[in-house]
């Protein structure tokens, strides 16, 4: 077994068939993550992990070799799990696995592709949803609040898993000796102390005025209206920024901006914003598109983008006032 799940994991899921399917699927995803972490650990010893394949995903992003390999690892293993449908950043449409199964998986198989060759943390994000009757899309075109599980693996100094089934957040670490994910923190709470924001400031000229005003006020520090000195961090891998914010607080922003293709933001609702929001809320933080709670937003396209602001409640609220 690749993961030693906590006693009582997913106990809040009342339907037994669904709960068992969730447990089995998380075990399978942990197995996949171990394989992806193993590939990542080679870096340049494995030639071309971060090389462009020449192909593009449904969103027009370049696909790197590790993007495709991670997707293949996940789908191959999910074939052994009670999963009806699988949707992925790397695939235009939905994969049908076992339509009679009670749950579905959406995934960003490799988050932070631009960091593959830089030895900076990257990860895998996933969302588990109940199977809905009718067409496969019905199971995915749901608001985030209907998720059964949200979580992400981080391939960094440690390989970790941060996961929620809607009953708090657990953090597991892949223990090097046993090669098994073991529980490290049973009730992860988002730290609130740090006045620190994460945004790709190279896009400042494209932001909408409220975001420009907010960041200018952060930069003004104690002398500005926020009356606080802010620090700044931007990893460029959502999983790493989210992991840092969970452990020491702060705020993440990837707002919609004026660039073509970014009018609705950059990050994808189904397999990036929804699962990360589920985790953040369960850890005591909040997640919005700048105004509305991400978990409430409807979805009508697998690869739909959304503006994304998350972190400590107080900081997210300040942004929505702007
Ligand atoms: P992906 O590698 O799955 O396409 O996701 C990359 C995302 C996210 O991880 C990160 O927060 C953001 O894109 C970085 O965007 P910039 O390149 O604009 O910094
Ligand atoms: Mn991503
Ligand atoms: Mn990706």
Note the pLDDT tens digit of each residue in 279-318.
999 999 999 999 999 999 999 999 999 999 999 999 999 9
Residue whose Cα lies nearest atom 19 of ligand 1: it is 236
| Cα–ligand 1 centroid distance for 268 (angstroms) | 10
Which residues, in sequence order, are CB contacts of 14 under 8 Å at separation 6+?
none
Per-residue confidence (pLDDT) for residue 3, from 0 to 100: 98
Per-residue confidence (pLDDT) for residue 194, from 0 to 100: 80
Q: List active site positions.
A: 61, 67, 89-90, 108, 110-111, 272
Per-residue confidence (pLDDT) for residue 232, from 0 to 100: 97
First-to-last alpha carbon distance for the chain, in angstroms, is 48
Per-residue confidence (pLDDT) for residue 55, from 0 to 100: 87
Residue whose Cα lies nearest atom 6 of ligand 1: it is 112
Which ligand is the nearest neighbour of the Cα of 237?
1
b/e code 212-238 from CB counts within 10 Å (16+ = b): eebbebbeeeeeeebeeebeebbbbbb
**Of 54, 73, 70, the residue nearest 112 (C-alpha):** 70
Evaluate whether 124 touches 159 at the Cβ level (below 8 Å): no
Ligand 1 in reach of 111 Cβ (< 6 A): yes
Note the pLDDT tens digit of each residue in 84-128.
999 999 999 999 999 999 999 999 999 999 999 999 999 999 999
Note the pLDDT tens digit of each residue in 32-65.
999 999 999 999 998 888 888 888 888 778 899 9
CATH number corresponding to 196-321: 3.40.190.80
Backbone angles phi, psi at 25, to 5 degrees: -70, -40
E strands in 176-278: 180-185, 196-198, 231-232, 251-254, 267-268
Say if residue 193's pLDDT is above 90.
no
Per-residue confidence (pLDDT) for residue 77, from 0 to 100: 98
Per-residue confidence (pLDDT) for residue 53, from 0 to 100: 87
Residue whose Cα lies nearest atom 14 of ligand 1: it is 236
- Give the integer Cα–Cα distance in Å for 97 and 94: 10
Ligand 1 atom index nearest CA of 203: 18
| Cα–ligand 3 centroid distance for 310 (angstroms) | 19
Ligand 1 atom index nearest CA of 57: 4
Average pLDDT over residues 73-85: 97
| Cα–ligand 2 centroid distance for 275 (angstroms) | 12
E strands in 119-262: 122-130, 149-155, 159-164, 169-175, 180-185, 196-198, 231-232, 251-254
| Cα–ligand 2 centroid distance for 107 (angstroms) | 9
Note the pLDDT tens digit of each residue in 194-230.
899 999 999 999 999 999 999 999 999 999 999 999 9
Evaluate whether 131 touches 116 at the Cβ level (below 8 Å): no
Name the residue of 53, 56, 255, 266 whose CB sits within 8 Å of the most ligand 1 atoms, as the mutation to test its pocket. 266
Ligand 1 atom index nearest CA of 266: 13
Ligand 1 in reach of 20 Cβ (< 6 A): no
Per-residue confidence (pLDDT) for residue 293, from 0 to 100: 98
* Domain regions of the chain by residue span: 3-185, 196-321
Rounded to the nearest 5 degrees, what angle is found at the Cα of 4, between the Cα atoms of 311 and 108? 45
Average pLDDT over residues 233-257: 97
Ligand 1 in reach of 168 Cβ (< 6 A): no
Which ligand is the nearest neighbour of the Cα of 114?
1
Q: Which two tokens stand for residue 142?
A: 């749901």
Note the pLDDT tens digit of each residue in 120-159.
999 999 999 999 999 999 999 999 999 999 999 999 999 9
Average pLDDT over residues 168-196: 95
Name the residue of 114, 262, 311 whose CB sits within 8 Å of the most ligand 1 atoms, as the mutation to test its pocket. 114
| Cα–ligand 2 centroid distance for 106 (angstroms) | 12
- The verdict on domain 3-185 having CATH code 3.30.540.10 is yes
């Amino acid at each position: 077994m690749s993961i030693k799940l906590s006693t009582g994991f997913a106990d809040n899921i009342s339907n037994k068939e669904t709960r068992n399917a969730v447990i089995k699927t998380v075990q399978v995803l942990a197995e996949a993550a171990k394989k992806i972490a193993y590939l990542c650990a080679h870096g340049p010893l494995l030639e071309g992990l971060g090389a462009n394949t020449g192909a593009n995903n449904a969103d027009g992003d370049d696909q790197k070799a590790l993007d495709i390999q991670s997707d293949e690892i996940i789908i191959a293993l999910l074939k052994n799990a009670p999963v009806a449908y699988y949707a992925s950043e790397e695939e235009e449409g939905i994969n049908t696995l076992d339509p009679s199964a009670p749950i579905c998986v959406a995934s960003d198989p490799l988050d932070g592709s631009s960091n593959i060759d830089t030895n900076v943390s990257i990860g895998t994000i996933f969302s588990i949803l109940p199977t809905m009757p009718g067409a496969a899309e019905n199971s995915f075109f749901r608001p985030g609040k209907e998720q059964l599980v949200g979580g992400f693996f981080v391939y960094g100094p440690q390989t970790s898993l941060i996961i929620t089934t809607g009953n708090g957040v657990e953090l597991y670490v892949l223990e090097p000796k046993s090669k098994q994910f073991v529980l490290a923190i049973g009730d992860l709470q988002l730290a609130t102390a740090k006045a620190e924001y994460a945004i790709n400031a190279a896009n400042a000229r494209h932001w909408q005025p409220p975001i420009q005003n907010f960041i200018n006020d952060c930069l003004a520090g104690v002398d500005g209206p926020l009356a606080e000195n802010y620090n700044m961090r931007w990893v460029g891998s959502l999983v790493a920024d989210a992991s840092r914010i969970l452990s020491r607080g702060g705020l993440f922003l990837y707002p919609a901006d004026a660039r073509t293709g970014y009018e609705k933001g950059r990050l994808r609702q189904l397999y990036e914003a929804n699962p990360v929001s589920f985790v953040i809320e369960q850890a005591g933080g909040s997640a919005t598109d700048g105004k509305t709670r991400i978990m409430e937003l409807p979805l009508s396209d697998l690869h739909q983008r959304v503006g994304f602001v998350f972190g400590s409640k107080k900081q997210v609220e300040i942004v929505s006032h702007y």
